[in-house]
Structure 1
Amino acid sequence: MIEARGDNNNNNNSCEEVIITTTTSVDWRGRPSNPIKHGGMKAAAFVLGLQGFEIMGIAAVGNNLITYVINEMHFSLSESANIVTNFIGTIFILSLLGGYLSDSYLASFWTILIFGFIELSGFILLSVQAHLPQLKPPKCNMLTDGEKCVEAKGFKALIFFVALYLVALGSGCVKPNMIAHGGDQFDQENPKQSKQLSRYFNAAYFAFSMGELIALTILVYVQTHSGMDVGFGVSAAAMALGLICLVCGTLFYRNKPPQGSIFTPIAQVMVAAFLNRKLVSPSDAHMLHKAHPTKAPPNANPTINLLHTNRFRFLDKACTKMQDGNTTKEISRWRLCTVTQVEQVKILISVLPIFACTIIFNTILAQLQTFSVQQGSTMNTKLTKNFHIPPASLQSIPYIMLIFIVPLYDTFFVPFARKFTGHESGITPLQRIGFGLFFATFSMVSAALMENKRRISAMESNEILSIFWITPQFLIFGISEMFTAVGLIEFFYKQSLKGSMQSFLTAITYCSYSFGFYLSSLLVSLVNKITSSHHGGGWLSDNNLNKDRLDLFYWLLAILSLLNFFNYLFWAKWYSKNGSSSSSSSTTTNQESNSKVVGEDGIV
């Protein structure tokens, strides 16, 4: 809640005093929530149900989409790979929109509900197009007919892309709000619930793993044997069940009201810093502008004074007072901000390098959902005499393992590590991200070795290897993702101290996926262009993987991943050194060492 008050009788040359308090969470009627009846793991369970069903629907589409695009829409291999990566990249870039709308105007529950129905409509339209022959190009076999196959164009292509990007819009806006809405069910000021919050993030990844597992086994099997129209229809049914699950928990949720535009306080700091660029910041941080302590309204949680840090000193201009001799002059908030407001902008800037270091990680993920699936389609998929493994189902292997590992990690490893580290999550989110980035490199090393072996066997010995030869790359990356994905979400969620930006900050983590998939498309195009003079049309220009050099492309990604890991180590060390006073791990310390003062205006 933001309350602005002009104050012409103060002695600090301050701008209009602004009280920003984090309004207590409310129930579905808008009344203050009851900690006994609302929130906690019982409320988060409904959100976990939605997470499981939503990922089930979107994963069944995304992970096997390349097969549909190639076999039924008749796009080339490289173009199909780019369609898939651009689709998934768009999902994650749109998460910023969902996070912004939620924190600023709609709140997470209504954002999920509205865009969940948009996602559902996209699934239904995809199913209709896949079912009606007049909405698809004529049937043909891409392997035997070659150039005779006509790819989807005009109205048929339009229907396909409209359906696809309705799904992208809905899923993109739903994803960050599912995590944030579930996290909002826990009070971080309560030590017991703070530990439950870390457990919730692990439970959320468990729900994600279960959804992925079902999508990559049962739903992909349905797509392969009953048709993509039925498969897309099952995805629609899964999304509908997820929305029903969300609505069923309405009476139990703690809901955070929207706070108005979350970008305005950020813009105020930037504008004030520019306008005051000629001022000299005082050497004594106590001389920087702080709003006056004011008694908090009875139904509000007190906000927090952040300690001043020396990083990004140019932003201190925004809270540097002008010495004009007039102690009663009212100064615009676009000219003078408070230390807390400036420090929270510093937090946002300081986490960006951490975010950037996970882009290569998600570029690797893009390969497992595109080229590795196509790689598997060229191998022996026969398991028994009458049963063949759908190539896309290979991605279920790490999730089969993770549904056992994640509970063990949360039940045994976290309490054990907590005894040594004192951290509520066992190890810090930054350490967790680092482990994941390190393991990701070996996923691509394994992929490169296996692709080289598969290609040599096919070309020199005319031997088709079993599809299980490429399972290690999925298995290693699954372990990597368990560390990186959960660590990144927990890290970003906890940056917004007592705040109103959880959905938006969670959305930033999904942008890493987006940039990773976009980078994948860019790398494919660049590699083809650069290597075209030495390898005909390039490493990845042929629709025949036996003629392409996918193994060299995997080696390139392995090298990039290793370099990215060392880059991450630098920035993680820099953040720990320069951002500790504002980091999530020191929230409690800051709260104890600084009185909880209402009146410090800021982003949260």
Structure 2
Amino acid sequence: MEMQETSRNEHKGNITSDNTLDWRGRPSNPKLHGGMKAASFVLGVQAFEIMGIAAVGNNLITYVLNEMHYSLSRSANIVTNFIGTLFILALLGGFLSDSYLGCFWTMLIFGFLELSGFILLSVQAHLPQLKPPRCNMLVDGDNCVEARGLKAFIFFVALYLVALGSGCMKPNMISHGADQFNKDDTKQSKKLSTYFNAAYFAFSLGELVALTLLVWLQTHSGMDVGFGVSAAAMGLGLISLVCGTLFYKNRPPQGSVLTPIAQVFVAAYYKRNKVCPSNPQLLHGGGSGVPNTNTIMSSDVGHSQCTTRFRFLDKACIKMEEGSNISTESPWKLCTINQVEQVKTLITVIPIFACTIIFNTTLAQLQTFSVQQGSSMNSKLTTSFHIPPASLQAIPYIILIFLVPIYDTFFVPLARKITGHESGISPLKRIGLGLFVATFSMVAAAVMEHKRRVAAVKYNEIISIFWITPQYLIFGLSEMFTAIGLIEFFYKQKIKGMQSFLTAMTYCSYSFGFYLSSVLVSLVNKITSTSSNHGWLAENDLNNDRLDLFYWLLAGLSFINFLNYLFWAKWYSDSPSASDTISHYSDCNTAKVAGDNTTV
């Protein structure tokens, strides 16, 4: 009995202050739970999951064309819709995790859904009776659609099970790994920065294996084997997730993360005709000793941003007449200033998110037109070995699996001594550096495409596929800065209970970037079409198209986007903290009461 009591007391004495729980639902113990040991299991999940999904996504068009017998245009739409839907579903995964399930259970549930999708795809690819016969829509008409029928239904069920599972897992893998560190502790914050770099390393390693070994297996052993290997990789990822159960710190769900946000807007609109007091201490929750009754968004108000902006939202905190009972007031009519400040923070980070959409539009070109470039170049490595054009996307990841550890081991400590920032350079600066470097990826692509086109048209020469590598290498370097910086930036926002949802916004940027790419291509073709040609990208022949001019256009848009980002990053950084603003108002009020005429 004494030993049990001692054990209990030791556990209580080591309870962490970050309100996380162990696998039994008890407060976590810093000596037993969390840290890089626990995060390493999550890194394993990320590496295996991206390995499986990347192998399917990067070669899916081959299966849709050759096995499901869809037309080229329809096949392209199926692939882009799949990728776009996958990234949009990240919002659903973040919402369910923060609100109801928690990261661990969200990953486990949707991981099994993704695994079932891989298995169903593998079964369909293996059994001829589950694949539709080749038919011509122009000749067979409705009979062609009927012949596809149930088989197409099975295919889309499998495909979107994969999209649902992968989309909902993605933000939670990053968030759950980051939850193993206390971001408010200086030493833990440094380790958190290392974790984000390690997460990108795991991502790069998984992509590299998928784009080389797994794509090769799909090409030489069949798509059924390829889908089966993706299922096996996903299975290993789930095993890694479960093996870390005893070591995780789990952030408990807080209830709907969207309700408090909606309450602020509703309450502000309800009191739109009221005059907002100049002193925040006169607002609900602005004075000392006023508890914040909201379980969501209850981080310290001193860390939130942009108090002096969006002042119309402060009306949500206007107290009713003197003598009214605040405790009985509906939360849809009265919010705390802390709650409003968190909504302001959420609004303020949206421009930073929006500036990465053009960046991901550039990424879409490297996965489409650059692969087409490679198909028209000499891909011989030896007399008997050809480099698959789709495997060109592995080039930056080969470099990054060496570059990321070097960056974290040597550059970050050096930069930390100069800047004093735990990440070496701040997430905002890291994003900006990545956006700037991405411009040169499109410049390299435009220069190379001009060289390739001149050689093919004027001299009837086919240049080596290795000329295409600079654009991939430069973009890989820019992605290392932008992607990690954006995830770290969102995760470290002081909005309690929304880490997974905010992380999901980074994946939405991918989705919007791919959708914008499709719109941009159609728009460019429409604007550049004349009576003699159909536009820069309409001929389906790179020797007749002007892909080089399109790349120059993207380079210009990327640079303009970088300048736009500088404006919004400065706007965000120049925002006074809420604590400074409240202190300022308090000092003003005190000075007035004392009769001080000094200008504050």
Tell me the alpha carbon deviations over residues 87-145 of structure 1, each in whole angstroms, 9 at most, x when there is no partner.
Answer: 212111100000000011111101001111111122222223333344445579xxxxx
Amino acid at match of 1:178: M
**Which residue in 1 is equivalent to 2:334?**
336
Amino acid at match of 1:560: L
Q: CA 1:29/1:544 → structure 2, altered by over 3 Å: closer, same or farther? A: same
Query: In 1, distance between residues paired with 2:571 and 2:204?
Result: 32
Amino acid at match of 1:289: H
**Which residue in 2 is equivalent to 1:443?**
441
Query: In 2, distance between residues paired with 1:523 and 1:216?
Result: 27
**Which residue in 1 is equivalent to 2:138?**
none
TM-fit CA distance, 1:311: 0.9
**Which residue in 1 is equivalent to 2:176?**
181
Question: Does the CA contact (< 8 Å) of 2:301 and 2:578 recur in 1?
Answer: no
Looking at secondary structure, tell me which structure has more helix per residue: 2
TM-fit CA distance, 1:286: 1.9
Query: In 2, distance between residues paired with 1:526 and 1:295?
Result: 54
Q: CA 1:134/1:526 → structure 2, altered by over 3 Å: closer, same or farther? A: farther
With the length of structure 1 as denominator, give the TM-score of the two structures: 0.86
Query: In 2, distance between residues paired with 1:546 and 1:153?
Result: 36
Amino acid at match of 1:355: F
Query: In 2, distance between residues paired with 1:533 and 1:136?
Result: 42
TM-fit CA distance, 1:283: 1.3
Tell me the alpha carbon deviations over residues 179-212 of structure 1, each in whole angstroms, 9 at most, x when there is no partner.
Answer: 0100111112322111111110000001011111
Amino acid at match of 1:347: T
Q: CA 1:294/1:346 → structure 2, altered by over 3 Å: closer, same or farther? A: closer
**Which residue in 2 is equivalent to 1:501?**
498
Query: In 1, distance between residues paired with 2:298 and 2:528?
Result: 59
Query: In 2, distance between residues paired with 1:302 and 1:275?
Result: 23
Tell me the alpha carbon deviations over residues 251-275 of structure 1, each in whole angstroms, 9 at most, x when there is no partner.
Answer: 1111111111111111111111101
Question: Does the CA contact (< 8 Å) of 2:292 and 2:336 recur in 1?
Answer: no
**Which residue in 2 is equivalent to 1:485?**
483
**Which residue in 1 is equivalent to 2:510?**
513
Amino acid at match of 2:102: A
Q: CA 1:208/1:535 → structure 2, altered by over 3 Å: closer, same or farther? A: farther
TM-fit CA distance, 1:537: 3.6
Q: Decide which moves more: 322-331 or 401-410.
A: 322-331
Q: CA 1:412/1:509 → structure 2, altered by over 3 Å: closer, same or farther? A: same
Amino acid at match of 1:128: V
**Which residue in 2 is equivalent to 1:51?**
46
Amino acid at match of 1:424: E
Query: In 1, distance between residues paired with 2:543 and 2:153?
Result: 33
TM-fit CA distance, 1:324: 4.9
Q: Does 2:517 correspond to 1:556?
A: no
Query: In 2, distance between residues paired with 1:579 and 1:139?
Result: 64
Question: Does the CA contact (< 8 Å) of 1:123 and 1:232 recur in 2?
Answer: yes
Query: In 1, distance between residues paired with 2:558 and 2:74?
Result: 24
TM-fit CA distance, 1:165: 1.7
Task: Name the SS for the 1:159 alignment partner.
Answer: helix
TM-fit CA distance, 1:382: 1.2
Q: Does 2:189 correspond to 1:194?
A: yes
**Which residue in 2 is equivalent to 1:323?**
321
Amino acid at match of 2:540: N
Q: Does 2:40 correspond to 1:40?
A: no
TM-fit CA distance, 1:319: 1.1
Query: In 1, distance between residues paired with 2:577 and 2:368?
Result: 39
Task: Name the SS for the 1:94 alignment partner.
Answer: helix
Query: In 2, distance between residues paired with 1:225 and 1:579?
Result: 59
Query: In 2, distance between residues paired with 1:530 and 1:134?
Result: 46
Query: In 2, distance between residues paired with 1:545 and 1:296?
Result: 62
Question: Does the CA contact (< 8 Å) of 2:132 and 2:152 recur in 1?
Answer: no
Amino acid at match of 1:558: A
Matches within 5 A, 1:251-262: 251-262=246-257
Q: CA 1:324/1:534 → structure 2, altered by over 3 Å: closer, same or farther? A: farther
Tell me the alpha carbon deviations over residues 274-318 of structure 1, each in whole angstroms, 9 at most, x when there is no partner.
Answer: 011111111122222217648999xxx995233681011111111
Q: CA 1:303/1:577 → structure 2, altered by over 3 Å: closer, same or farther? A: closer
Query: In 2, distance between residues paired with 1:329 and 1:30?
Result: 30
Amino acid at match of 2:509: S
Query: In 1, distance between residues paired with 2:417 and 2:555?
Result: 35
**Which residue in 2 is equivalent to 1:389?**
387
Match of 2:153 among 153, 158, 166: 158
TM-fit CA distance, 1:353: 0.3
With the length of structure 2 as denominator, give the TM-score of the two structures: 0.86
Tell me the alpha carbon deviations over residues 460-511 of structure 1, each in whole angstroms, 9 at most, x when there is no partner.
Answer: 33322221111111111000000000000000001134x2111101011111
- Residue identity over aligned pairs, in percent, reads 74
TM-fit CA distance, 1:329: 7.5
Q: CA 1:566/1:309 → structure 2, altered by over 3 Å: closer, same or farther? A: same
Higher relative contact order (CA 8 A, sep 6+): 1
Tell me the alpha carbon deviations over residues 512-565 of structure 1, each in whole angstroms, 9 at most, x when there is no partner.
Answer: 111111111222232333334356343333333333332232222222111111
Structure 2 unmatched runs, 5+:
1-15, 136-143, 584-600
TM-fit CA distance, 1:575: 0.5
Matches within 5 A, 1:127-276: 127-136=122-131, 154-276=149-271
Amino acid at match of 2:88: I
Query: In 2, distance between residues paired with 1:533 and 1:302?
Result: 58
Question: Does the CA contact (< 8 Å) of 1:77 and 1:543 recur in 2?
Answer: no
Match of 2:301 among 271, 288, 305: 305
Query: In 1, distance between residues paired with 2:526 and 2:471?
Result: 27
Query: In 2, distance between residues paired with 1:481 and 1:397?
Result: 13
Question: Does the CA contact (< 8 Å) of 1:78 and 1:543 recur in 2?
Answer: no
TM-fit CA distance, 1:155: 4.1
Structure 1 unmatched runs, 5+:
1-20, 141-149, 590-604
Amino acid at match of 1:282: P
Report the aligned-residue RMSD. Answer: 2.7
Match of 1:380 among 378, 381, 405: 378
